[in-house]
Structure 1
Amino acid sequence: MHIEQLYTGCLSEAAYYVESNGEAAIIDPMRDIESYLALAEKRGAKIKYVFETHFHADFVSGHLDLSKATGAPIIYGPQTKANFAFKMAKDGECFPLGDCSIEVIHTPGHTLESSCYLLKDKSGKGYAVFTGDTLFVGDVGRPDLAQKGELLSSEDLAGMLYESLQEKILPLADDILVYPAHGAGSSCGKNIGASTQSTIAEQKQTNYALQSQSKEDFIKVVLEGLAEPPQYFPINAAINKNGYDKLDEILQRALQPLSTKEVEDKSHQDNVWVIDTRNKETFVQGFIPGSIFIGLDGRFAEWAGSLISFDKKLILVTEPGMEQEAMVRLARVGFDKMIGFLEGGFEAWKDAGLKTDMIIDVEVDELAMDIPFDEHLLVIDVRKEIEFADGHVKDAVNIPLSSLTDPASMSPIEDTDNIYLHCQSGYRSVIAASMMKKQGIHNLRNIVGGWKAIAQEKKIKTAKSPAILN
């Protein structure tokens, strides 16, 4: 028996390669399937099954391409409805894999079709359970992501999740390994733990959702404090349910080198956005006017899906050689209208003598000096509401980055304001600055180091929201 977790950090997503006696199964594959094919070839195994725990909302799965490449059937749990050929397994059905087997455990709650897969050794003893978004380390899957047409409330799904955990997960043996589909940072849970694996015993002891409580109490606690899900979640879930173009075909269309003149001409079109993927320190020093920063060194794909309309045509500015990496990451969350990249990168744009823009970085001590004397100074905190509530600059305005797609979010800003932007450490505030500039707001500065630096500056008054103080 051999298990490998293939973890994609920028999406906090875990896919799994499970092998026994030359036969392999892939659980929850990403859209770019080469790593699974290469691993099976390296180990001399044949991929026999493609298991999906549910219709993922945070990324486009590789189930279709992997099935076509290997001939392996796609397997979902009960109550699955999809527009492609798949095997709908029964609750408790077992699939032989070499000397082992994989049992389907239907666990509705995160979604209707959500299922876990219990790996049993050759003696039939449970060894590991692949829990998808039903059970995370320290958390459970959100029950508020029901797709259009399911006619189920969040409370309905939360109640189903309670029953799934009580009847299907808690009875499992304590020594069984737990392999979830996501780790910390994923928006599929509320507060997922740092580890990407655990045991049933450990989760019984530490996971709030597995503690002794009534169904009513569980529903209340699992639904409270949920942030608004990223706007691309329903789009990705629909793609996974309805099908998609092959990744190779998308990349063939997307990997087109564009001259500076072509980029300049196309960037003025309303339906074209220029996305700059360089690191934030480089971006702020100079960029194409109107381009949006989303750096590859952060949660690139998630923020792209949250902030960019899927009907936009995208041109990328990257460090030379990073074009395909950026486009694969965009395709992972469903973007398929990428039309090319700036050949030669931003250096080519500068060398052509074309107009550039920049963002002014300021250190936190400069903010401290300006606050008492600038009556038009406005601090905008682009962190999440829960981060803002836990501590913020006194009189700061909270405009979470995810809300900047709504023009109404700019209503607190006056033409005379001198804007100082910050997030937790600097990545999100540079995205926010680029988006504001695209909307014509240029009188802004980015605070280097964000809240981490501000909290250390004793000359700046800070506050907490009353709900946190009480």
Structure 2
Amino acid sequence: MFIQKIKSEGLSHLSYLVGNKGKAFVIDPRRDCEIYMEEAAKAGCRITHVFETHRNEDLISGAPILAKLTGARVLHGPNAMGDVTYADTTRDGDTYEFGNLTLQVLETPGHTDDSLSFAVFDTDHGDGAVGVFTGDALFIGDVGRTDFYPDRAEEVAGLLYDSLQKILALGDQAILYPAHGAGSVCGDNMADREFSSLGYERQYNDRLRIDSRERFIKEKIAEHHYQPPYFRLMEKLNLTGADPAPRVTTPVPLSPNEFHDLPDTTAIIDVRTVSAFLGAHLPGSLAIPAPMIPAFAGWYIEPGQPVVLVAADPGQAREAAQHLIRIGLDNLRGFLTTDMPEWSARGLPFHSLPAMHVDDIRERFRNPPENWQLLDVRSITEYEEEAIDGSVHVYVGELPEQLDRLDGNRHYTVMCASGARATIAASVLERAGFSRVDVFLGSFGAWKSRD
């Protein structure tokens, strides 16, 4: 018997390949799913089943694709707000045998109505559950968000509380296998590790230490989570099934002339580092460093919109493309690796953005420049916990829809926690025609270090 975790970086998505006695199953596969077949073949197993813990909002499921490739049966929970056309329905108490391994289905709604958890039993060694795959119901250090049904906020928070008690009843010995790790948009306070047990979480997970259902509901409905527009695309594709991911995930290289022939609707996404973008970038491009694409690209790229990447090298372009493919933004027209000195040597235009040191910002507060404003683009939760007096707040993801709140003639210094989200936001402002923009590099971290 083996359990192999397969992680998708950026999304912090955790899927699992489980095998025993020549058969294997997969839990929550990603869209580029060949890896599961490759790893199963290495273990001498054939994939016979695919289980989904819920209809994912933040990535495309690979379940229908993997089923076509392997002939595996796909199982999904009830109440999915539509028919999951590629899956059969499995319900609470159903069991599936894989040699001496038994998988038992638990209906654990709250995060979504169709949420399932899967308890694993080793029938040769004791009666207790060896582990449990909890999807987005229970994480390491946190529990699932419950904001997808705003008109039923108290009800679904209560459902999650009940589901967590059901999971914990499996016993402290059970190993926890969640669907996401730290950095996922599906939780705020996940621990920066990917191993735990129900006993450890019962003792140290703050949400599980709440002993009152009413208090749990109150705290859950007070949370604030953001929902990027691309979530709606995920909802649709994870009912009907997406096309397979492209076999080759490195976009084709473009020459400057080919770049200029692209349609005006093309999104130019600069996936280089923050410092590279600040130093020099193409006019109209958006800064989204490659590791940040899963969290932020879905705010700015429309489904089906043509995309061109600006990357430091083909490897970086491939990384960025892979992230985009996993969230369905895969109309990739190519990438540029022309560095800015070469670009400018051809007489082609480029822009730069000034980076401000913490001492510069303190001086600006002592002697404010005319018509200057500090703009904080962190989450509202971060901003309400602690903020710099005199700053104004707009969340980075919502900035395109909130531009009418800002004065295009003002001088904005953009800040976040470190400067990365601030650079994304500054590129949004610059693309919208704001001409007086700079970035507080180091941002709130630097500010606090000088207190």
Deviations 1:262-310 (A, max 9, x none): 322326x1x22111111111111111100001001x3222210123222
Distance in 2, Cα, partners of 1:321 & 1:141:
36
Instruction: Give, as a single letter, the amino acid of the residue that structure 2 aligns with 1:117.
Output: F
| Partner in structure 2 of residue 129 of structure 1 | 132
SS of 2:444's equivalent? helix
Q: Structure 1: state its 5+ residue gaps.
A: 459-470
Q: Structure 1 residues 451 and 55, CA, compared in 2 at 3 Å: closer, same or farther?
A: same
Q: Structure 1 residues 85 and 369, CA, compared in 2 at 3 Å: closer, same or farther?
A: closer
Distance in 2, Cα, partners of 1:365 & 1:208:
38
Deviations 1:124-157 (A, max 9, x none): 54100000011112322112214xxxx9622222
| Partner in structure 1 of residue 440 of structure 2 | 447
- 1:218 matched to 2:211? The reply is no
| Partner in structure 2 of residue 465 of structure 1 | none
**Stretch deviating more after TM superposition (101-110 or 233-242):** 233-242
| Partner in structure 1 of residue 58 of structure 2 | 58
Instruction: Give, as a single letter, the amino acid of the residue that structure 1 aligns with 2:269.
Output: I
Q: Structure 1 residues 364 and 127, CA, compared in 2 at 3 Å: closer, same or farther?
A: same
After TM superposition, give the deviation of residue 342 of structure 1 in Å: 2.7
| Partner in structure 2 of residue 326 of structure 1 | 320
Q: Compute the RMSD of aligned alpha carbons.
A: 2.2
Deviations 1:377-420 (A, max 9, x none): 211111112222233222011122012121x34524351x3221
TM (normalized to structure 2)?
0.92
Q: How many residues are matched?
A: 446
Instruction: Give, as a single letter, the amino acid of the residue that structure 2 aligns with 1:164.
Output: S
| Partner in structure 1 of residue 20 of structure 2 | 20
Instruction: Give, as a single letter, the amino acid of the residue that structure 2 aligns with 1:402.
Output: G
Deviations 1:438-470 (A, max 9, x none): 000121111221111122235xxxxxxxxxxxx
- 1:335 matched to 2:341? The reply is no
- 1:403 matched to 2:398? The reply is yes
SS of 1:246's equivalent? coil
Instruction: Give, as a single letter, the amino acid of the residue that structure 2 aligns with 1:38.
Output: E
**Stretch deviating more after TM superposition (118-127 or 357-366):** 118-127
After TM superposition, give the deviation of residue 8 of structure 1 in Å: 2.3
After TM superposition, give the deviation of residue 115 of structure 1 in Å: 0.4
Deviations 1:204-249 (A, max 9, x none): 2223443464433322122212223233223212211121121127
Deviations 1:171-200 (A, max 9, x none): 111101111111222221242233323211
TM (normalized to structure 1)?
0.89
| Partner in structure 1 of residue 261 of structure 2 | 265
Instruction: Give, as a single letter, the amino acid of the residue that structure 1 aligns with 2:330.
Output: D
SS of 1:340's equivalent? strand
After TM superposition, give the deviation of residue 34 of structure 1 in Å: 2.6
Identity level (%): 33
Contact 1:399 1:409 in 2 (8 A): no
| Partner in structure 2 of residue 5 of structure 1 | 5
Q: Structure 2: state its 5+ residue gaps.
A: none
- Aligned counterparts, 1:290-439, within 5 A: 290-296=284-290, 298-322=291-315, 323-342=317-336, 344=338, 349-373=343-367, 374-406=369-401, 408-413=402-407, 415=409, 417-439=410-432
After TM superposition, give the deviation of residue 434 of structure 1 in Å: 0.8
Contact 1:77 1:114 in 2 (8 A): yes
Deviations 1:325-357 (A, max 9, x none): 221210111213222223656566445331111
Distance in 1, Cα, partners of 2:64 & 2:342:
39
- Aligned counterparts, 1:103-252, within 5 A: 103-123=104-124, 125-146=128-149, 153-166=152-165, 168-211=166-209, 213-248=211-246
